[in-house]
Structure formats: C-alpha cells, structure tokens
C-alpha cells in the first residue's frame, strides 16, 4: 500500500465533478484537496466544500507567500491548490485533486520523486455529448460556455502526457474503471 496523489482532469462538463463526488462518498481511504478560486460560487456551491472562494487580493497574497502547490488562470479567474493541505493529507492517505491538465502536469513536476502522482483524464464519448452536458448545466452564460468548449481540444490533446484516459459514457462503468485504477495504483509496491 502506498499513498498516491491522484489528479483527475477533463474538459468542463465531462462529468468529473460527479465522479469525484461518488469517489469520496464510497472511498474513505481518499481525501479531496479543496482548491482556492477567485470565481464566484455557482448556485449550491459552498465555501470550503467545492472551493475556498477568495477575493483576487486574498488569492494574490497567498500566491505571493508560496501557499500554492500550483496555480493557474482559467476564463479570467485564478485557481490554486493549497500546498500545506495536500502535503499533510498525503502523510495519512491518498489525495484526489480535481484540476485542469496544466495544473496536473505542474503538480506532478512539483512532487517529482517524493510522492507518486497518477494523472487520470476523463474524456467525453464525443464532442456533441459534451456540448449538450454543458448546455444542460445552465451555470454559465453563452460566452462562458463557448470559452469552456474551445478549451476542450487543448485538454484532450494533453491526455497523451497523462497516465490514464477513461471515456465517460456510462457513469457506472466509468466509476468502476476509476476505482480499479485507484486500487491498482495504491496497491503497487
């Protein structure tokens, strides 16, 4: 058994949030890292649960003091992974990060050699399905939705640098595949 940092990435609307939620409900041996962001909360999102919602000033101050393992800007907002939380959790159990591809590759580089980092990409079955899911979510206006869709190809191209890609067609099957990967990686010597 080993403690692993699992990074789960994928285009907006691909269903990674749902998968991560299921993962944490069913696996008490995993802990979720909660990122900080300057974007406004969506309906139903709670400070300290989905994200720590910070003002730009607060985020920049924390970035200055080296609080983030990695950070990036998406669609005009900052996102960052708190370093101390991840390092502390990793002493006890495996940790899941739900972040974008650039963040995932940066996190892997930051921990290189000291902690096993496994990068998992969740891909849509096809672009139309993704578009429909994003439209169904109704949480973004048209321009924001277009920007998110435009980034999809970039995210999927980066999958080549990831350790695993799983296609989210049937949720139950995808979840099982994810659990199998996690078990396999945790149980590696």
Q: Which residues bind ligand 5GP (CB under 6 A)?
A: 12, 35, 39, 70, 72, 74, 79-81, 98-100, 103
Report, in Å, the least distance between residue 88 CB and ligand 5GP. Answer: 16
| Residue with Cβ nearer ligand 5GP (55 or 187) | 55
| Residue with Cβ nearer ligand 5GP (136 or 189) | 136
Write out the DSSP string of the chain.
----EEEEE--TTSSHHHHHHHHHHH-TTEEEPPPEE-SPPPTT--BTTTBEE--HHHHHHHHHTT-EEEEEEETTEEEEEEHHHHHHHHTTSEEEEE--HHHHHHHHHHHTTTS-EEEEEEE-SSHHHHHHHHHHH--S-HHHHHHHHHTHHHHHHGGGGSSEEEE-SSHHHHHHHHHHHHHHHHT--
| Residue with Cβ nearer ligand 5GP (43 or 189) | 43
Q: What is the CA radius of gyration of the chain?
A: 16
| Residue with Cβ nearer ligand 5GP (157 or 183) | 157
Report, in Å, the least distance between residue 4 CB and ligand 5GP. Answer: 18
Report, in Å, the least distance between residue 187 CB and ligand 5GP. Answer: 27
Report, in Å, the least distance between residue 80 CB and ligand 5GP. Answer: 5
- Chain residue at closest Cβ approach to ligand 5GP: 103
Within 10 Å of residue 20's Cβ, how many Cβ atoms? 19
Report, in Å, the least distance between residue 131 CB and ligand 5GP. Answer: 15
| Residue with Cβ nearer ligand 5GP (84 or 184) | 84
| Residue with Cβ nearer ligand 5GP (103 or 124) | 103
**What Å distances lie between residue 50 and 39, 90, 111, CA to CA?**
12, 20, 24
Report, in Å, the least distance between residue 178 CB and ligand 5GP. Answer: 16
């Amino acid at each position: 058994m080993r403690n692993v940092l699992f990074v789960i990435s994928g285009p907006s609307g691909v269903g990674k949030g749902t998968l991560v939620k299921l993962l944490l409900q069913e696996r008490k041996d995993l802990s979720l890292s909660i990122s900080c962001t300057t974007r406004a909360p969506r309906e139903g999102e709670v400070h300290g649960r989905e994200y720590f919602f910070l003002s730009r000033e607060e985020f920049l101050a924390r970035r200055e003091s080296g609080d983030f393992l990695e950070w990036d800007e998406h669609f005009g907002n900052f996102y960052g992974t708190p370093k101390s939380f991840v390092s502390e959790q990793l002493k006890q159990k495996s940790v899941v990060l739900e972040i974008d591809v650039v963040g995932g590759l940066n996190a892997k580089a930051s921990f290189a050699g000291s902690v096993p980092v496994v990068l998992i990409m969740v891909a849509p079955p096809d672009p139309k399905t993704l578009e429909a899911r994003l439209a169904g979510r109704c949480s973004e206006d048209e321009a924001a939705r277009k920007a998110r869709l435009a980034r999809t190809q970039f995210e999927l191209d980066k999958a080549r640098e990831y350790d695993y890609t799983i296609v989210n067609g049937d949720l139950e099957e995808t979840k099982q595949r994810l659990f199998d990967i996690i078990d396999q990686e945790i149980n590696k010597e």
